[in-house]
Amino acid sequence: MTQDYGAAWICVRQRAGPFVKALSTDRACFVRRNTDSKGLIRRRAGPAMCRTSVDKLELRLALFGYEGVFYTLTFAPEFLPDRLDGVQRVWDAFLKRLRRWDMKLGRPPTDYYVYRIEGLHGDHRYHIHAFLRDSDFPPAVVRYLWDWGEVDDEPWDRKRVMAEKGYRGLAVYFTKEVPEVGRHPWGCSRALSRMIPPPEVWFSRTGEIRPPAGATRLPILGQPNLGEWGVFSYARYLTPEK
């Protein structure tokens, strides 16, 4: 997009499922940093919307829409690994079971999953949190495939997402434990990351962000730090139901 030299604001909007977050700023250095010598917006303006691990996970969780189920997979004493890499091997084996279930139903491997291994809080027993789509793996199927212990399930339907004011609280919960050095705090399928659409970037004369009619506004959380001596507007919302 060519620079409109009467436009003092640069705007970025990121979508993921029904979730949208947008910002606009008039901070001169941000505008300079994200436009080239020809006045065209650089694609790297996008990272303003996903700087932290929580930001990135929030977008991936939003891709599940209102079909997500938050699972806690615990171990019976006889199956409890004593090392983190042992828990990782169990997760890998469980993931293979999920894929074999897909094959049994004659469908391609499911790309919608997020997981996190924990064991530092509470009674310090290793356990796994997973986020799956109900349409792919409903609780009855997960209980059938998880042979190592117990399963707890919490549906994240529209009512739950609205009550929790979006997906950020769940993203924070997923990342609450500091991982070991060199380990990522959470994992997901590579295909899931590729499903996030690129950010929309444009110039504006007013910097005003207008959610569509019927959208549900969410609290202003996770604001990007653009530094001092600038004005910015920020919005987070869920798109209207179709």
What pLDDT does 1 receive? 45
19-25/9-16 β-pairing: antiparallel
Phi, psi of 222 (to 5 degrees): 65, 40
User: Is residue 199 helix, strand or coil?
Assistant: coil
Work out the number of other CB atoms within 10 angstroms of the CB of residue 53.
15
> Of 152, 138, 144, 171, nearest to 68 (Cα)?
138
What pLDDT does 219 receive? 86
Dihedral sign of CA atoms 223, 226, 229, 232 in order? negative
> Of 9, 32, 12, nearest to 22 (Cα)?
12
pLDDT in tens, 185-210: 789 998 998 999 888 888 888 888 88
The full set of domain ranges for the chain reads 9-49+200-238, 68-156
User: Above 70 in pLDDT, residue 33?
Assistant: no
Q: Which pTM does this prediction carry? A: 0.86
Mean pLDDT (the chain) is: 84
With contact defined as beta carbons under 8 Å apart, do 194 and 121 qualify? no
pLDDT in tens, 149-171: 999 999 999 999 999 999 999 99
Whole-angstrom Cα distance, residue 180 to residue 184?
8
**Mean pLDDT, range 118-122, rounded to an integer:** 73
Phi, psi of 12 (to 5 degrees): -130, 130
Q: Identify which has the larger pLDDT, 4 or 19.
A: 19
User: Is residue 202 helix, strand or coil?
Assistant: strand
pLDDT in tens, 98-109: 999 999 999 999
Tell the CATH topology of 68-156: Alpha-Beta Plaits (3.30.70)
